[in-house]
Amino acid sequence: MDYAELEATLQKAFDESTRIYRARGFQRRIGFGSRPALISVDLANAWTRPGNPFSCERMDDLVMPAMQRLLAACRHAGAVVVHVTTAYQITDRSDPHTDMGMWHHKIPVEAVNLADTALWAIDSRIAPIDGEYVLLKKRASAFSGTPLAGYLRSAGVDTILVTGVTATACVRTTICDGLADGFRTIAVRECIGDRVPGAVAWNLYDIDAKFADVEPLARCISYLEGLRIPRAAAE
């Protein structure tokens, strides 16, 4: 595939869409708050390493290096960090009691079996450290059916920096639900991936118009460096 040609085509679509959106009052800014949390979605081995149905592109050359820089800034600032992953206990598609729900009728979620911890473990390049919450989810959104919103509120969080995979599904739905639950939503551009060409660019463009501010890594790090989070709030 000619990625330069794809990017040029997408840019033409973005330029025209921007004209329409701005004329109608879209693309407003939500801004950063004072108590951020990093929500890292599905950057586990089944998504970040090759050889799995869920393997995503540009993990080694873009997403992982960017995540390492962002994590370092979050840790230095004392921000809340949540690592989100996905796995299923009952992967027999014929079992009516499966925890996969109906999702297996659309995508091969049975490939991420809870018994195989290596699959759903967070990638060692961004491994959690003591004090960082690892959240196991069953649906696309990190908020759906989980205690995430309550956990963030108890920590005084008002802003979520959302990263991970995929732009088309789990990252996007997490952002939408985060906004609905009252958090300032920031999508960190270089820290978001997918497995389909053009999917990241299109979804981030559309997310920026409606559900979150899409910000470059450098600006997010600058924001974190300017924070002074009291230790009690960070914990």
Task: Cite the active site residues.
Answer: 170
Q: What is the C-alpha to C-alpha distance for residues 124 and 111, in angstroms, rounded to an integer?
A: 20
Work out the widest C-alpha separation in the chain, in whole angstroms.
53
Q: Sign of the CA dihedral 59, 61, 64, 66? A: negative
User: Angle at CA 160, nearest 5°, toward 212 and 86?
Assistant: 100
HSE-up (13 A, CA, CB side) for residue 122: 22
Match 């018994």 to its residue by tokens.
115
Q: What is the C-alpha to C-alpha distance for residues 148 and 18, in angstroms, rounded to an integer?
A: 33
**For 127-134, which contacts have Cβ atoms below 8 Å and span 24 or more sequence positions?**
128/81, 128/83, 129/75, 131/235, 132/81, 132/82, 132/83, 133/80, 133/81, 133/82, 133/83, 134/82, 134/83, 134/84, 134/85
Instruction: Give the torsion through C-alpha atoms of 43, 188, 131, 59, to 10 deg.
Output: 30
Ordered DSSP codes for 97-135 = T-TTTTGGGTS-GGGSBTT-HHHHSBPGGG---TT-EEE
